[in-house]
A and B are shown apart, each in its own frame.
Chain A
Amino acid sequence: MVLEKYILAAITTNSSKIPGGTAVFYCDSKQEMETIAANLEAILDGIAHMLTEELYVIVKH
């Protein structure tokens, strides 16, 4: 199956905003969030997009 335009994971530092329906990674700092996003981008072959300062999503294009 080929996925297109699909959110594979969400990475956030704000635990009050909980996205549902996808894998969520909570982080303590912005730096940790960026590291995790970079790793996930490489692992999942997706692109790390920044929605807000505290929320990244990995999207398969």
Chain B
Amino acid sequence: MSEYTYPILFGLIIGTATRMYMLRTDYRQYPTYLHGKIIHVALGFIAAGLGTVAIPSIMEEDFTAITFLTLAASQFREVRNMERNTLTELDSYEMVPRGKTYIEGIAIAFESRNYLVIFTSLVSTLIYLLINVWAALIAAIICVLIAKVLMSGGRLKDIVEIEYVEPRFDGPGLYVDNIYIMNIGLPQRQEEVLRYGMGFILKPKNFNSRSTIANLGQRQAILHDVSTALGVYRDSGTPALVPLAKRDLDDGRVGVFVLPQEKDIKRAIKIIGAVPTLENAIRMPSERHVEGEGK
């Protein structure tokens, strides 16, 4: 046993524990239970190992050893590819697909969480070697808290107001409030749609959120999440029964039409509010400073 054994062991455990803490399977059931999780815990362990051994290498003045961190970068980029490919393959068999933007968001999260693990392991091993195990423990807790803040993105309820509106027909046209959704010709389909359908109006709170909810990927994510949580009245071969979200071009409001199996307005509003704002959908038009402004 060398003087580095305990610090390395400590870094490994902390790193792997951080990955497990960030690996929560919720209503979305992703990563899938057991095997999907094992893959990510194993990768988290590797990431923890890479982060941990970096510090002893520096202390032994073995600077070239740091280059293997580049290996880590390419390794975890592969994680993103893996997640993207799996989810894209599965998406074609979903009743209501996640959409590419959502998938990309999930894949990015998986990659970045491994880097957070490397960072946590690196910092806690460093503190262990510089001070002692208790200081390292405190540093690890702070790192985990930082990781928690970094990994939890915004929710839709922060940027929009959600209001329930009964969908209605005007001739064959289906409307949510004044937003046109689609044309449904058959009377029996119209009856089904009115019986099971629910309409919601998402009113953007500011100009930035107007662009964010206009993103097609963000809208698909809303439809997917609502359909996952409340079920969906739909089957293959019934393309008329499709949840859709359309936009009011005048004021940027989005009309969401869903066909849940369980018609619970309060829960549906809560679920829409809890939909993550996808980082690839976020736009900040108000942050744009026109060149030459203020001169």
Provide 17 A-B residue pairs closer than 8 Å at the C-beta atoms, listed in order of the A residue.
Answer: A34-B186, A37-B186, A38-B189, A45-B239, A47-B185, A48-B184, A48-B185, A48-B189, A48-B240, A49-B172, A49-B183, A49-B184, A50-B171, A50-B183, A50-B185, A56-B185, A60-B239
Interface string of B151-190 (1 = CB under 8 A from A): 0000000000000000000011000000000111111110
Measuring CB to CB, which residues of chain A are less than 8 angstroms from any residue of chain B?
Answer: 34, 37-38, 41-42, 45-50, 56, 60-61
Given A49-B172, A50-B171, A42-B183 contact (CB < 8 Å): no
Measuring CB to CB, which residues of chain B are less than 8 angstroms from any residue of chain A?
Answer: 171-172, 182-189, 236-237, 239-240
Which of A37, A42, A61 has a CB less than 8 Å from the CB of B185?
Answer: A37
| Chain B residues within an 8 Å CB radius of A50 | 171-172, 183-185
Which of A37, A38, A46, A56 has a CB less than 8 Å from the CB of B239?
Answer: A46
User: Roughly how many angstroms separate A18 CA and B189 CA in the complex, as a whole number?
Assistant: 26
Closest Cβ–Cβ distance, residue B233 to chain A (whole Å): 15
User: Roughly how many angstroms separate A38 CA and B185 CA in the complex, as a whole number?
Assistant: 9
Not counting A45-B236, A48-B184, A48-B240, a sample of 12 additional A-B residue pairs whose C-beta atoms are within 8 angstroms of each other reads A34-B186, A37-B186, A38-B189, A45-B239, A47-B183, A47-B239, A47-B240, A48-B186, A49-B172, A49-B185, A50-B172, A60-B239
Most chain A CB atoms below 10 A, which of B171, B186, B237, B240: B186
Q: Contact check, A45 vs B237: say whether CB atoms are below 8 A apart.
A: yes
| Chain B residues within an 8 Å CB radius of A38 | 186, 188-189
